[in-house]
C-alpha cells in the first residue's frame, strides 16, 4: 500500500507501507528534463555530492557515521524514465522496530537530507578537487559505453531513431560536455535545480511516518520548486520509410540492431499485452528469437528484444558474423510474422506469462525496486500496483498479443561492422 503526503508545493512524499523488510529505504528523486546542456551536470552532481557535506566533509566521515547506524548504506545515482532525467539520493537503514529505542531510521534520513541540502562548498562552488576527480571518472564511464560495442550499438540505434527528440540524448552526456563543467558552474546548477524541479521522496518500510514527515518539512522549509510538472515523453513518431545505417569499427563480430515503433505507451490498456508480446518474441530462453535465430539456425551469438516503454519503441539487438546480416534479418522477419499470425505455442505463451509475473513479484520483494516501480507509475500518470499489473499480465490472451503485434512497424536497421566489410 502506498500513501501520498504533500510536503509543500512541488514536493511530495510517498510511503510504501510494508512489514516485509527489516530495513527502511528513503529516496529523494529530483526530476529534470533530459537535455544536452545539463545531462552531464546532473550525472556529475550525484557523484560529487556523494563525496561529502558540511557535517561530514569526506567519504571517511560519512562511512564512520553510516557504520554507527548499524551499517546503513548511502547511494546516489542518475535515473532515466523517458525524457525525465532523475537525480536520486538513497539511504537504507535498519528499521527502528528491530532496535532498542535507537532512532536509526530517522538519523539515516536526516543524513540523506544533509547530503542533499547542505553540500560541501568552497569559494562559491563545490570542492574543486572532488569535482575534477569525478569529471575524470565520468569521462571514463562514457568511454566504457563506447568501448563496449554491445552496449554502444543498443544505445546508438536509439540515438539515431530519436535524433530529433530529447530521448536521443544519453544521460551521461559527452566528454566535451564534462570538460566544460567547473566547480562553480556545477554549484550554480545545483541551486537552480532545487529552485525549479519537482521532488518526490519515497519511504519504503515499517517506519513512524509522522516523524519522517515532520523532519522532511523542516529540512525542505526553504525549498519551493517553481515547477510541479514532470517532463513529458511523447510517443515516437513513425517514419514513412525504414532507415538503414551502417557504421564501421575495428571489430571482428558485427552488431545488428533493428528498431520498431510499437504504437503503445505505458498509459495504454494494451501495454500489458505488449509486455507479453515482447517476452514471447525475445524475452528469454523460451523466446522465438532465442530458439530460432540463435539455437536452431546459429545465426547469432546473442539476440533479444527490448521495449523502450516510455517512448513506444522496441529494439532487437544481436551479435552476429558479418556475412550473416541479411540471413539474420530474414529470420527475425519470419518470427515477427509468426507473432502477427498468432503462431505461438502454449509453451512460449505460458513461459512468458510466468517469467514476467515472477519478475514483477521479485520487484515487490526488493526494497529498491518497489520504490522505482512506483516512481515509474507517477511519471506516466498511472496508479497501478504491482499486484494489479500481475493480474493484468495473467489476463492477456493470444488475441491481445496478435492485436499489438499488428501495430509493430519497422523503422531502422543499424549495423555495426568491421571497417573492411561495411559494404558486404
**How confident is the model over 392-420, as pLDDT tens digits?**
999 999 999 999 999 999 999 999 999 87
Q: pLDDT tens-digit profile of 270-316?
A: 999 999 999 999 999 999 999 999 999 999 999 999 999 999 999 99
Q: pLDDT tens-digit profile of 336-382?
A: 999 999 999 999 999 999 999 999 999 888 898 999 999 999 999 98
- Write the CA distances from 35 to 52, 86, 96, 167, 274, integer angstroms: 27, 12, 41, 9, 29
How would residue 421 be classed by pLDDT, with cut points 50, 70 and 90?
A: low
pLDDT at 423: 46
Find out whether 204 and 18 touch, Cβ atoms under 8 Å. Answer: yes
Residues 6 or more apart whose CB falls under 8 angstroms from that of 55 comprise 114, 118
Which residue matches cell numbers 502454449? 346
Is the pLDDT reported for residue 424 higher than 60?
A: no
Find out whether 19 and 13 touch, Cβ atoms under 8 Å. Answer: no
- Give dist(CA 254, CA 135) in Å, integer: 32
- Write the CA distances from 102 to 92, 96, 218, 251, integer angstroms: 15, 6, 21, 57
Mean pLDDT estimate for the chain:
96
Instruction: Reduce the DSSP state of residue 11 to 3 states and report it.
Output: strand
Query: Could you tell me the domains of the chain?
Result: 2-219 (3.30.830.10), 243-421 (3.30.830.10)
How would residue 189 be classed by pLDDT, with cut points 50, 70 and 90?
A: very high
Amino acid at each position: 500500500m502506498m500513501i501520498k503526503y504533500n510536503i509543500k508545493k512541488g514536493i511530495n512524499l510517498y510511503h510504501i507501507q510494508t512489514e516485509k523488510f527489516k530495513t527502511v529505504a528513503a529516496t529523494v528523486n529530483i526530476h529534470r528534463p533530459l537535455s544536452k546542456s545539463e545531462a552531464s551536470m546532473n550525472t556529475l552532481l550525484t557523484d560529487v555530492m556523494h563525496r561529502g557535506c558540511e557535517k561530514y566533509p569526506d567519504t571517511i566521515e560519512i562511512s564512520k557515521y553510516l557504520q554507527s547506524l548499524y551499517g546503513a548504506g548511502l547511494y546516489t545515482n542518475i535515473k532515466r524514465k523517458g525524457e525525465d532525467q532523475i537525480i536520486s539520493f538513497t539511504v537504507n537503514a535498519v528499521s527502528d522496530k528491530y532496535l532498542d529505542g535507537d532512532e536509526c531510521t530517522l538519523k539515516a534520513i536526516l543524513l540523506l537530507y544533509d547530503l542533499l541540502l547542505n553540500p560541501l562548498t568552497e569559494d562559491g562552488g563545490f570542492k574543486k578537487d572532488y569535482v575534477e576527480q569525478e569529471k575524470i571518472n565520468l569521462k571514463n564511464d562514457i568511454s566504457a559505453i563506447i568501448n563496449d560495442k554491445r552496449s554502444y550499438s543498443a544505445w546508438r540505434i536509439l540515438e539515431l531513431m530519436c535524433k530529433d527528440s530529447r530521448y536521443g540524448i544519453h544521460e551521461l552526456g559527452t566528454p566535451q560536455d564534462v570538460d566544460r563543467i567547473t566547480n562553480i558552474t556545477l554549484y550554480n546548477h545545483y541551486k537552480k535545480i532545487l529552485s525549479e524541479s519537482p521532488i518526490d521522496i519515497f519511504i519504503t518500510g515499517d517506519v513512524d511516518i509522522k516523524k519522517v514527515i515532520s523532519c522532511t518539512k523542516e529540512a525542505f522549509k526553504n525549498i519551493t520548486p517553481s515547477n510541479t510538472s514532470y517532463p513529458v515523453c511523447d510517443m515516437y513518431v513513425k517514419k514513412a520509410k525504414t532507415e538503414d545505417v551502417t557504421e564501421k569499427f575495428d571489430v571482428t563480430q558485427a552488431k545488428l540492431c533493428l528498431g520498431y515503433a510499437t504504437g503503445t505507451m505505458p498509459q495504454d490498456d494494451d501495454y500489458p499485452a505488449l509486455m507479453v508480446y515482447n517476452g514471447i518474441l525475445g524475452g528469454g530462453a523460451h523466446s522465438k528469437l532465442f530458439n530460432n535465430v540463435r539455437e536452431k539456425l546459429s545465426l547469432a551469438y546473442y539476440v533479444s528484444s527490448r521495449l523502450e516503454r516510455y517512448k513506444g519503441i522496441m529494439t532487437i539487438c544481436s551479435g552476429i558474423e558479418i556475412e550473416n546480416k541479411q540471413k539474420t534479418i530474414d529470420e527475425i522477419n519470419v518470427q515477427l510474422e509468426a507473432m502477427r499470425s498468432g503462431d505461438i505455442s502454449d509453451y512460449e505463451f505460458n513461459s512468458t506469462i510466468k517469467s514476467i509475473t515472477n519478475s514483477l513479484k521479485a520487484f515487490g520483494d526488493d526494497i529498491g525496486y518497489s520504490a522505482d516501480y512506483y516512481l515509474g507509475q507517477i511519471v506516466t500518470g498511472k496508479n497501478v500496483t504491482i499486484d494489479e499489473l500481475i493480474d493484468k499480465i495473467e489476463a492477456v490472451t493470444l488475441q491481445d498479443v496478435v492485436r499489438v503485434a499488428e501495430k509493430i512497424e519497422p523503422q531502422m536497421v543499424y549495423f555495426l561492422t568491421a571497417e573492411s566489410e561495411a559494404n558486404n
